[in-house]
Amino acid sequence: MSGQVLVEAADAPMEKHAHAVFDLDGDASDAAPMQMRFVDQRTFGGLYLDELTVAHGREVPSTIAHIAPDPLEDAFDAEAVARLMRRKDVAVKRMLLDQGVVSGIGNIYADEALWRSGVHGRRLGSKVTKRQLVDLLTAAQDVMREALAQGGTSFDALYVNVNGASGYFDRSLDAYGQQGKPCRRCGTLIVREQFMNRSSHLCPRCQRRR
Ligand SMILES: [Zn+2]
């Protein structure tokens, strides 16, 4: 998504790049009036009304019905996703980044989750045990929860929290961007490889390709 959605007091100064402003009905009559504002400096964002539909066991806007639940959604079922991944001769990391399998996992979270669970991202889903895949998906959940608690990562300059400030999650990364540094688990140097036109960061000892 481009831009930010802010919820602020109606009398707060208007942002220069506010493109849409909604007055919110408060549930308490004595509460100060609030507004939801869509602010986008780069004007790549959009806002539109959509029908709701049921997909993957939850109600979502119909234009995103093809997108699988992300690991922090109630509808996310690690066992079911692991079963799906086991049926495919596709690299595990590719599936982690595939929104039709699981959404919301970017390159940084994928590398961190793979490192935590000791899985090499190039291994095929069909060659990894279901237990390992569940561990991997659980690790992705943990990484995302920790990142959220800390405000996200600051690697991507466009990734800012709702207040427009970069996060501090990068301080606690174990694999991503750590090439040349010792693995915190075994001391082997973390390496960077090319994968799907991006970089993968991993420990060659903890994450064997086999
Ligand atoms: Zn290691």
Q: State the distance between the two ends of the chain, measured CA to CA, in whole angstroms.
A: 38
pLDDT computed for residue 47 by the predictor: 82
How far is CA 192 from each of CA 90, 144, 203, rounded to the nearest angstrom? 21, 22, 9
Domain 52-202 in this protein, CATH class: mainly alpha
Residue 146 C-alpha to ligand 1 middle, in angstroms? Answer: 21
CA of 186 from ligand 1 middle (Å) equals: 4
Taking the centre of ligand 1 as the mean of its atom positions, its distance from the CA of residue 204, in whole angstroms, is 7
Which residues surround the ion ligand 1 when the cut-off is CB under 5 Å?
A: 183, 185-186, 188, 203, 205-206
Output the CA–CA distances (angstroms, integers) from residue 168 to 3, 17, 150, in the order listed. Answer: 20, 26, 6
Question: What mean pLDDT do residues 27-40 have?
Answer: 83
In angstroms, the CA 71 to CA 161 distance is: 19
Q: How far is the CA of 135 from the centre of ligand 1 (A)?
A: 17
Q: How far is the CA of 94 from the centre of ligand 1 (A)?
A: 22
Q: Who has greater pLDDT, 146 or 90?
A: 90
Q: Which DSSP state fits 164?
A: S
Judged by average pLDDT, the poorest of 18-32, 92-106, 157-171 is 157-171
> DSSP 3-state helix, strand, coil percentages of the chain (rounded to 5)?
25, 20, 55
pLDDT of 64-101, one tens digit each? 899 999 999 999 999 999 999 999 999 999 999 999 99
Q: What percent of the chain has pLDDT over 90?
A: 66
Q: Please give the pLDDT value at position 169.
A: 57
pTM for the full predicted model: 0.76
Q: How far is the CA of 198 from the centre of ligand 1 (A)?
A: 21
**Per-residue model confidence (pLDDT) at position 160:** 47
pLDDT at position 154, please?
Answer: 44
In the chain, where the domains are located: 4-39, 52-202
- In angstroms, the CA 84 to CA 185 distance is 30
